[in-house]
Amino acid sequence: MGSTKTVAYFFDPDVGNFHYGQGHPMKPHRLALTHSLVLHYGLYKRMQVYRPYRATVHDMCRFHSEDYIDFLQRVTPQNVQNFTKSLQQFNVGDDCPVFPGLFNFCSMYTGATLEGAVKLNNNICDIAVNWAGGLHHAKKFEASGFCYVNDIVIGILELLKYHPRVLYVDIDIHHGDGVQEAFYLTDRVMTVSFHKYGNHFFPGTGDMYEVGAEGGKYYSLNVPLKDGIDDHNYRQLFNPIMQQVVEFFRPTCIVLQCGADSLGCDRLGCFNLSVKGHGECVSFMKGFNLPLLVLGGGGYTVRNVARCWTHETALLLDEEVNNELPYNEYFEYFSPDFTLHPDTSTRIENCNTKGYLEQIRQTINDNLKSLSHAPSVQMHDIPPDLFSLEVVEEPDPDIRESVQDQDNRIEPANEYYDGDKDQDRDNDLDV
Ligand SMILES: [Zn+2]
Protein backbone atom coordinates (compact mmCIF):
# COMPACT_ATOMS: atom_id res chain seq x y z
CA MET A 1 0.00 0.00 0.00
CA GLY A 2 1.42 3.37 -0.93
CA SER A 3 0.73 6.78 0.50
CA THR A 4 -1.22 9.38 -1.37
CA LYS A 5 0.78 11.98 0.58
CA THR A 6 4.01 13.46 -0.69
CA VAL A 7 6.58 13.18 2.07
CA ALA A 8 9.79 15.25 2.15
CA TYR A 9 12.43 13.86 4.50
CA PHE A 10 15.49 15.84 5.60
CA PHE A 11 18.73 14.27 6.70
CA ASP A 12 22.22 15.66 6.89
CA PRO A 13 24.79 12.83 6.93
CA ASP A 14 26.93 14.85 9.37
CA VAL A 15 24.25 15.43 11.99
CA GLY A 16 24.82 12.11 13.76
CA ASN A 17 28.51 12.82 14.31
CA PHE A 18 28.22 15.50 16.99
CA HIS A 19 28.93 14.73 20.63
CA TYR A 20 27.56 16.71 23.54
CA GLY A 21 30.33 15.20 25.67
CA GLN A 22 31.10 12.13 27.69
CA GLY A 23 28.19 10.89 29.75
CA HIS A 24 25.73 13.43 28.31
CA PRO A 25 22.36 11.76 27.67
CA MET A 26 21.66 13.64 24.41
CA LYS A 27 23.27 11.63 21.65
CA PRO A 28 22.94 12.93 18.09
CA HIS A 29 24.15 9.48 17.02
CA ARG A 30 20.50 8.33 17.44
CA LEU A 31 19.84 10.22 14.19
CA ALA A 32 22.35 8.04 12.33
CA LEU A 33 20.66 4.90 13.69
CA THR A 34 17.23 6.18 12.70
CA HIS A 35 18.37 7.03 9.21
CA SER A 36 20.05 3.65 8.80
CA LEU A 37 16.78 1.85 9.62
CA VAL A 38 14.85 4.16 7.29
CA LEU A 39 17.27 3.27 4.50
CA HIS A 40 17.42 -0.45 5.15
CA TYR A 41 13.64 -0.75 5.32
CA GLY A 42 13.63 0.87 1.88
CA LEU A 43 11.44 3.74 3.06
CA TYR A 44 13.59 6.28 1.21
CA LYS A 45 12.12 4.98 -2.06
CA ARG A 46 8.72 6.33 -1.10
CA MET A 47 9.74 9.88 -0.22
CA GLN A 48 11.74 12.87 -1.35
CA VAL A 49 15.02 12.69 0.55
CA TYR A 50 16.86 15.99 0.93
CA ARG A 51 20.17 17.06 2.33
CA PRO A 52 18.86 20.12 4.14
CA TYR A 53 19.65 23.78 3.90
CA ARG A 54 21.80 25.10 6.74
CA ALA A 55 20.29 27.92 8.74
CA THR A 56 22.22 31.18 8.89
CA VAL A 57 22.68 33.61 11.77
CA HIS A 58 20.02 35.73 10.08
CA ASP A 59 17.54 32.82 10.10
CA MET A 60 18.21 32.13 13.78
CA CYS A 61 17.80 35.79 14.70
CA ARG A 62 14.23 35.71 13.45
CA PHE A 63 13.56 34.42 16.98
CA HIS A 64 16.75 34.61 19.02
CA SER A 65 18.64 37.69 20.16
CA GLU A 66 21.67 38.65 18.12
CA ASP A 67 24.11 38.58 21.02
CA TYR A 68 23.04 35.05 21.96
CA ILE A 69 23.45 33.72 18.40
CA ASP A 70 26.71 35.62 18.01
CA PHE A 71 27.96 33.87 21.14
CA LEU A 72 26.89 30.43 19.81
CA GLN A 73 28.74 31.13 16.60
CA ARG A 74 31.97 32.20 18.29
CA VAL A 75 32.33 29.91 21.31
CA THR A 76 34.40 26.70 20.98
CA PRO A 77 35.79 24.24 23.54
CA GLN A 78 39.19 25.89 22.92
CA ASN A 79 38.15 29.48 23.68
CA VAL A 80 35.38 28.81 26.18
CA GLN A 81 37.41 30.20 29.11
CA ASN A 82 37.14 33.67 27.55
CA PHE A 83 33.35 33.56 27.78
CA THR A 84 32.75 33.02 31.50
CA LYS A 85 30.17 35.79 31.76
CA SER A 86 28.35 34.80 28.54
CA LEU A 87 28.15 31.15 29.59
CA GLN A 88 26.20 32.18 32.65
CA GLN A 89 24.12 34.75 30.80
CA PHE A 90 23.10 32.30 28.06
CA ASN A 91 22.77 29.25 30.33
CA VAL A 92 25.47 27.33 28.49
CA GLY A 93 27.59 24.91 30.50
CA ASP A 94 26.29 21.74 32.12
CA ASP A 95 23.03 20.63 30.45
CA CYS A 96 23.86 22.62 27.34
CA PRO A 97 27.62 22.23 26.95
CA VAL A 98 29.93 23.84 24.42
CA PHE A 99 30.98 20.99 22.13
CA PRO A 100 32.94 20.88 18.87
CA GLY A 101 30.83 22.05 15.95
CA LEU A 102 27.97 23.31 18.18
CA PHE A 103 26.94 26.09 15.81
CA ASN A 104 27.02 23.79 12.77
CA PHE A 105 24.84 21.31 14.62
CA CYS A 106 22.28 24.05 15.33
CA SER A 107 22.53 25.24 11.76
CA MET A 108 21.76 21.74 10.39
CA TYR A 109 18.75 20.88 12.51
CA THR A 110 17.31 24.40 12.21
CA GLY A 111 17.92 24.57 8.46
CA ALA A 112 16.04 21.31 7.94
CA THR A 113 13.01 22.50 9.90
CA LEU A 114 13.01 25.82 8.06
CA GLU A 115 13.28 24.14 4.68
CA GLY A 116 10.46 21.77 5.66
CA ALA A 117 8.28 24.81 6.41
CA VAL A 118 9.22 26.43 3.07
CA LYS A 119 8.34 23.26 1.14
CA LEU A 120 5.00 22.99 2.94
CA ASN A 121 4.28 26.65 2.19
CA ASN A 122 4.95 26.04 -1.49
CA ASN A 123 2.94 22.81 -1.62
CA ILE A 124 6.02 20.88 -2.67
CA CYS A 125 5.09 18.25 -0.09
CA ASP A 126 2.16 17.37 2.17
CA ILE A 127 4.34 16.18 5.03
CA ALA A 128 7.88 17.29 5.94
CA VAL A 129 9.97 15.20 8.36
CA ASN A 130 13.06 16.35 10.29
CA TRP A 131 14.00 13.94 13.08
CA ALA A 132 17.01 16.13 13.96
CA GLY A 133 14.70 19.03 14.90
CA GLY A 134 12.16 19.58 17.64
CA LEU A 135 14.44 21.27 20.19
CA HIS A 136 11.56 22.79 22.07
CA HIS A 137 13.24 24.19 25.22
CA ALA A 138 15.49 26.84 23.62
CA LYS A 139 14.53 30.41 24.58
CA LYS A 140 14.95 33.73 22.83
CA PHE A 141 17.93 34.71 24.98
CA GLU A 142 19.25 31.39 26.24
CA ALA A 143 19.85 27.67 25.86
CA SER A 144 17.85 25.21 27.93
CA GLY A 145 17.42 21.45 28.33
CA PHE A 146 19.95 20.34 25.66
CA CYS A 147 18.42 22.85 23.19
CA TYR A 148 20.26 25.90 21.84
CA VAL A 149 18.31 27.17 18.83
CA ASN A 150 14.54 26.73 18.77
CA ASP A 151 14.06 25.37 15.27
CA ILE A 152 10.34 24.87 15.97
CA VAL A 153 9.66 28.54 16.63
CA ILE A 154 11.67 29.50 13.55
CA GLY A 155 9.77 26.94 11.43
CA ILE A 156 6.40 28.17 12.71
CA LEU A 157 7.36 31.80 11.95
CA GLU A 158 8.00 30.69 8.37
CA LEU A 159 4.64 28.86 8.21
CA LEU A 160 2.87 31.99 9.50
CA LYS A 161 3.84 33.81 6.31
CA TYR A 162 1.30 31.65 4.48
CA HIS A 163 -0.88 30.12 7.20
CA PRO A 164 -3.37 32.08 9.29
CA ARG A 165 -3.43 29.46 12.06
CA VAL A 166 -0.71 26.98 12.99
CA LEU A 167 -1.32 24.19 15.50
CA TYR A 168 1.70 22.97 17.49
CA VAL A 169 1.42 19.57 19.22
CA ASP A 170 4.15 18.23 21.53
CA ILE A 171 4.29 14.60 22.77
CA ASP A 172 7.79 14.77 24.27
CA ILE A 173 7.73 13.81 27.98
CA HIS A 174 8.90 17.34 28.80
CA HIS A 175 6.74 20.45 28.55
CA GLY A 176 7.21 22.32 25.25
CA ASP A 177 8.03 25.50 27.16
CA GLY A 178 10.14 27.35 24.59
CA VAL A 179 7.46 27.13 21.89
CA GLN A 180 4.63 27.95 24.28
CA GLU A 181 6.48 31.00 25.58
CA ALA A 182 7.24 32.30 22.08
CA PHE A 183 3.57 32.26 21.09
CA TYR A 184 1.94 32.80 24.49
CA LEU A 185 0.36 36.12 23.53
CA THR A 186 -0.90 35.28 20.05
CA ASP A 187 -3.98 33.48 18.76
CA ARG A 188 -2.34 32.58 15.46
CA VAL A 189 -0.43 29.67 16.98
CA MET A 190 -2.12 27.23 19.32
CA THR A 191 0.32 25.15 21.37
CA VAL A 192 -0.74 21.85 22.93
CA SER A 193 1.72 19.92 25.10
CA PHE A 194 1.27 16.50 26.75
CA HIS A 195 3.98 15.97 29.35
CA LYS A 196 5.01 14.76 32.77
CA TYR A 197 4.34 17.44 35.39
CA GLY A 198 5.18 17.54 39.09
CA ASN A 199 7.93 16.62 41.54
CA HIS A 200 10.23 19.22 39.95
CA PHE A 201 10.32 17.34 36.66
CA PHE A 202 12.09 19.47 34.03
CA PRO A 203 11.35 22.22 33.04
CA GLY A 204 8.78 22.72 35.81
CA THR A 205 6.19 24.58 33.73
CA GLY A 206 3.08 23.30 31.92
CA ASP A 207 0.32 22.96 34.50
CA MET A 208 -3.20 22.91 33.12
CA TYR A 209 -3.88 26.47 34.22
CA GLU A 210 -1.24 27.91 31.89
CA VAL A 211 -3.58 28.84 29.07
CA GLY A 212 -1.97 31.81 27.30
CA ALA A 213 -2.45 35.52 27.94
CA GLU A 214 -3.82 38.68 26.31
CA GLY A 215 -4.73 37.93 22.67
CA GLY A 216 -3.39 34.40 23.16
CA LYS A 217 -5.61 33.51 26.10
CA TYR A 218 -6.82 29.90 25.75
CA TYR A 219 -4.47 29.32 22.80
CA SER A 220 -1.97 27.47 24.99
CA LEU A 221 -3.18 24.09 26.20
CA ASN A 222 -1.34 21.89 28.67
CA VAL A 223 -2.00 18.28 29.58
CA PRO A 224 0.06 17.55 32.72
CA LEU A 225 0.50 13.83 33.35
CA LYS A 226 1.92 11.70 36.12
CA ASP A 227 4.41 8.82 36.00
CA GLY A 228 3.71 5.59 34.18
CA ILE A 229 0.99 6.62 31.70
CA ASP A 230 0.31 3.78 29.25
CA ASP A 231 -0.90 3.63 25.65
CA HIS A 232 -4.53 3.20 26.66
CA ASN A 233 -4.70 6.21 28.99
CA TYR A 234 -2.68 8.38 26.64
CA ARG A 235 -4.97 7.62 23.69
CA GLN A 236 -8.05 8.29 25.85
CA LEU A 237 -6.81 11.83 26.39
CA PHE A 238 -4.92 12.57 23.18
CA ASN A 239 -7.53 11.63 20.59
CA PRO A 240 -10.57 13.49 21.94
CA ILE A 241 -8.52 16.53 22.98
CA MET A 242 -6.84 16.86 19.59
CA GLN A 243 -10.14 16.28 17.81
CA GLN A 244 -11.70 19.14 19.75
CA VAL A 245 -8.71 21.41 19.30
CA VAL A 246 -8.75 20.97 15.53
CA GLU A 247 -12.51 21.56 15.41
CA PHE A 248 -12.32 24.72 17.50
CA PHE A 249 -9.07 26.21 16.27
CA ARG A 250 -9.34 25.16 12.60
CA PRO A 251 -5.58 25.16 11.93
CA THR A 252 -4.38 25.41 8.35
CA CYS A 253 -1.27 23.41 9.16
CA ILE A 254 0.15 21.32 12.00
CA VAL A 255 3.61 21.05 13.56
CA LEU A 256 4.12 17.84 15.55
CA GLN A 257 7.04 17.41 17.95
CA CYS A 258 7.57 13.67 18.45
CA GLY A 259 10.00 13.56 21.39
CA ALA A 260 10.64 9.86 22.03
CA ASP A 261 11.47 10.24 25.72
CA SER A 262 7.78 9.53 26.41
CA LEU A 263 8.44 5.85 25.56
CA GLY A 264 8.78 3.28 28.32
CA CYS A 265 12.41 2.53 29.29
CA ASP A 266 13.66 5.97 28.32
CA ARG A 267 16.86 6.88 30.16
CA LEU A 268 15.39 10.16 31.41
CA GLY A 269 11.68 9.43 31.15
CA CYS A 270 9.04 7.84 33.39
CA PHE A 271 6.16 7.12 31.00
CA ASN A 272 5.16 3.73 29.69
CA LEU A 273 4.27 4.26 26.03
CA SER A 274 5.11 1.64 23.43
CA VAL A 275 6.48 2.47 20.00
CA LYS A 276 3.00 1.68 18.62
CA GLY A 277 1.25 3.85 21.22
CA HIS A 278 3.58 6.77 20.46
CA GLY A 279 3.03 6.26 16.74
CA GLU A 280 -0.76 6.35 17.15
CA CYS A 281 -0.47 10.04 17.98
CA VAL A 282 1.36 10.60 14.69
CA SER A 283 -1.27 8.66 12.73
CA PHE A 284 -4.04 10.55 14.48
CA MET A 285 -2.59 13.94 13.56
CA LYS A 286 -1.89 12.80 10.01
CA GLY A 287 -5.56 11.85 9.75
CA PHE A 288 -6.60 15.52 9.70
CA ASN A 289 -5.13 15.78 6.20
CA LEU A 290 -3.51 19.13 6.83
CA PRO A 291 0.05 20.13 5.87
CA LEU A 292 2.18 18.50 8.54
CA LEU A 293 5.69 19.30 9.79
CA VAL A 294 6.97 16.34 11.82
CA LEU A 295 9.96 16.87 14.13
CA GLY A 296 12.00 14.84 16.62
CA GLY A 297 12.87 16.08 20.09
CA GLY A 298 13.99 14.29 23.25
CA GLY A 299 14.70 10.56 23.42
CA TYR A 300 17.56 9.09 25.42
CA THR A 301 17.44 5.33 24.98
CA VAL A 302 19.04 5.51 21.58
CA ARG A 303 17.91 2.15 20.17
CA ASN A 304 14.25 2.88 20.98
CA VAL A 305 14.39 6.41 19.58
CA ALA A 306 15.57 4.94 16.27
CA ARG A 307 12.80 2.34 16.34
CA CYS A 308 10.14 4.89 17.18
CA TRP A 309 11.04 7.42 14.48
CA THR A 310 11.49 4.68 11.87
CA HIS A 311 8.04 3.31 12.70
CA GLU A 312 6.62 6.83 12.47
CA THR A 313 8.31 7.46 9.12
CA ALA A 314 6.61 4.28 7.87
CA LEU A 315 3.24 5.41 9.27
CA LEU A 316 3.52 8.76 7.51
CA LEU A 317 4.13 6.87 4.26
CA ASP A 318 1.32 4.35 4.92
CA GLU A 319 3.94 1.65 4.53
CA GLU A 320 3.79 -1.66 6.37
CA VAL A 321 7.22 -2.73 7.58
CA ASN A 322 8.41 -6.01 9.04
CA ASN A 323 8.81 -6.23 12.81
CA GLU A 324 12.09 -8.02 12.19
CA LEU A 325 14.75 -5.35 11.69
CA PRO A 326 16.71 -5.38 8.44
CA TYR A 327 20.42 -5.99 8.82
CA ASN A 328 22.29 -2.68 9.09
CA GLU A 329 25.61 -1.33 10.32
CA TYR A 330 24.20 -0.68 13.81
CA PHE A 331 22.49 -4.06 14.16
CA GLU A 332 24.10 -4.88 17.52
CA TYR A 333 22.35 -1.90 19.12
CA PHE A 334 19.06 -3.73 18.71
CA SER A 335 20.06 -6.88 20.56
CA PRO A 336 18.68 -9.19 21.87
CA ASP A 337 15.35 -9.12 20.00
CA PHE A 338 16.31 -7.25 16.78
CA THR A 339 12.71 -6.14 16.35
CA LEU A 340 11.03 -2.81 15.63
CA HIS A 341 8.54 -3.31 18.46
CA PRO A 342 10.28 -4.65 21.55
CA ASP A 343 8.54 -4.70 24.92
CA THR A 344 9.18 -1.22 26.36
CA SER A 345 6.89 -1.61 29.35
CA THR A 346 8.41 -0.92 32.74
CA ARG A 347 7.40 -1.60 36.29
CA ILE A 348 6.73 2.10 36.88
CA GLU A 349 3.27 2.28 38.40
CA ASN A 350 0.66 4.22 36.41
CA CYS A 351 -0.10 7.10 38.78
CA ASN A 352 -2.71 8.62 36.46
CA THR A 353 -5.82 7.55 38.33
CA LYS A 354 -9.25 7.58 36.75
CA GLY A 355 -10.16 10.56 38.90
CA TYR A 356 -7.05 12.49 37.88
CA LEU A 357 -7.61 11.85 34.17
CA GLU A 358 -11.22 12.93 34.55
CA GLN A 359 -10.13 16.16 36.25
CA ILE A 360 -7.74 16.93 33.37
CA ARG A 361 -10.40 16.23 30.80
CA GLN A 362 -12.86 18.51 32.56
CA THR A 363 -10.42 21.42 32.84
CA ILE A 364 -9.31 21.05 29.22
CA ASN A 365 -12.96 20.96 28.13
CA ASP A 366 -13.63 24.20 29.98
CA ASN A 367 -10.61 25.82 28.34
CA LEU A 368 -11.67 24.67 24.89
CA LYS A 369 -15.18 26.01 25.44
CA SER A 370 -13.65 29.39 26.22
CA LEU A 371 -11.65 29.08 23.05
CA SER A 372 -14.70 28.42 20.92
CA HIS A 373 -16.24 31.61 22.28
CA ALA A 374 -13.07 33.64 21.99
CA PRO A 375 -13.71 36.81 20.01
CA SER A 376 -10.51 36.62 18.02
CA VAL A 377 -11.13 33.46 15.99
CA GLN A 378 -10.88 35.53 12.83
CA MET A 379 -7.24 36.33 13.08
CA HIS A 380 -6.07 36.78 9.56
CA ASP A 381 -4.97 40.36 10.03
CA ILE A 382 -3.47 40.17 13.48
CA PRO A 383 0.29 39.74 13.31
CA PRO A 384 1.74 39.01 16.73
CA ASP A 385 4.21 41.66 17.85
CA LEU A 386 5.78 39.47 20.52
CA PHE A 387 8.98 39.63 18.58
CA SER A 388 9.95 41.02 15.21
CA LEU A 389 7.85 38.76 13.04
CA GLU A 390 7.48 40.23 9.61
CA VAL A 391 4.21 39.07 8.13
CA VAL A 392 4.88 39.46 4.44
CA GLU A 393 2.62 38.94 1.50
CA GLU A 394 5.39 37.65 -0.71
CA PRO A 395 7.86 34.96 0.30
CA ASP A 396 11.23 36.24 1.41
CA PRO A 397 13.32 36.05 -1.76
CA ASP A 398 16.59 35.68 0.15
CA ILE A 399 15.44 32.63 1.97
CA ARG A 400 13.66 31.08 -0.95
CA GLU A 401 16.71 31.49 -3.13
CA SER A 402 19.21 30.18 -0.65
CA VAL A 403 17.07 27.17 0.15
CA GLN A 404 16.81 26.34 -3.50
CA ASP A 405 20.52 26.83 -4.03
CA GLN A 406 21.35 24.29 -1.43
CA ASP A 407 18.49 22.02 -2.23
CA ASN A 408 20.46 19.01 -3.31
CA ARG A 409 17.79 16.45 -3.77
CA ILE A 410 19.22 13.05 -3.16
CA GLU A 411 17.68 10.20 -5.12
CA PRO A 412 19.46 6.95 -4.39
CA ALA A 413 20.16 6.32 -0.74
CA ASN A 414 23.65 5.08 -1.37
CA GLU A 415 24.78 8.57 -2.27
CA TYR A 416 25.36 9.06 1.39
CA TYR A 417 27.95 6.35 1.41
CA ASP A 418 29.49 6.79 -2.02
CA GLY A 419 31.72 9.78 -2.79
CA ASP A 420 32.00 12.59 -0.32
CA LYS A 421 29.50 15.21 -1.40
CA ASP A 422 29.96 17.20 1.72
CA GLN A 423 32.05 20.23 1.08
CA ASP A 424 31.20 22.04 4.28
CA ARG A 425 32.67 19.44 6.53
CA ASP A 426 33.78 21.00 9.72
CA ASN A 427 37.48 20.39 10.28
CA ASP A 428 37.33 20.59 14.01
CA LEU A 429 34.50 18.14 14.21
CA ASP A 430 35.35 15.37 16.61
CA VAL A 431 34.01 12.33 14.78
ZN1 LIG B 1 12.12 15.68 26.43
Q: What CATH number is associated with residue 301?
A: 3.40.800.20
**Global confidence as pTM:** 0.87
pLDDT for res 373: 63
Q: What b/e string do you get for 178-209 counting C-beta neighbours within 10 Å, with b at 16 or more?
A: bbbbbbbbbbbbbbbbbbbbeeebbbebbebe
95 marked ligand binding residue: yes
CA of 414 to the centre of ligand 1 (A): 32
In angstroms, what CA-CA distances link 41 with 303, 319, 324? 16, 10, 10
Measure Cα distances from 308 to 82, 278, 296, 314, 407 in Å: 41, 8, 10, 10, 27
Residue 429 lies inside a defined structural domain of this protein: no
Asked whether residue 2 is domain-assigned, the answer is no
Please check whether residue 424 lies inside any domain of the structure: no
Q: Does residue 215 fall inside a structural domain? A: yes
237-296 pLDDT per residue, tens: 999 999 999 999 999 999 999 999 999 999 999 999 999 999 999 999 999 999 999 999
Spell out, as residue ranges, where the chain has pLDDT lower than 50.
375-377, 379-431
Amino acid letter for position 29: H
Q: How far is the CA of 297 from the centre of ligand 1 (A)?
A: 6
82 Cβ neighbours under 8 A, 6+ residues apart: none
Q: Is 300 annotated as a binding residue?
A: yes
Judge whether 304 lies within some domain: yes
Distance from the CA of 265 to the center of ligand 1, in angstroms? 13
CA 172 – ligand 1 centroid, Å: 5
User: How high is the pLDDT of residue 347?
Assistant: 85
User: Does 416 show up as a binding residue in the annotation?
Assistant: no
The residues carrying an active-site annotation are 137
| CB distance 52 to 15 below 8 Å | no
**Residue 88, in any domain of the structure:** yes
Which residue type does 424 have? D
Instruction: Say how many Å lie between the CA of residue 380 and the centre of ligand 1.
Output: 33
In the chain, how many domains are there?
A: 1
Residue 18: give the domain boundaries: 7-416
Going from the Cα of 145 to the center of ligand 1, the distance in angstroms, rounded, reads 8
Residue 118 belongs to some domain of the structure: yes
Phi then psi for residue 263, to 5 deg, are -75, 155
Q: What is the pLDDT of residue 423?
A: 32
pLDDT of res. 403? 38
| The pLDDT value given to residue 370 | 87
Give the whole-angstrom CA distance, residue 257 versus residue 189.
14
Per-residue pLDDT, 426: 34
Q: Given this model, what pLDDT does residue 48 score?
A: 98
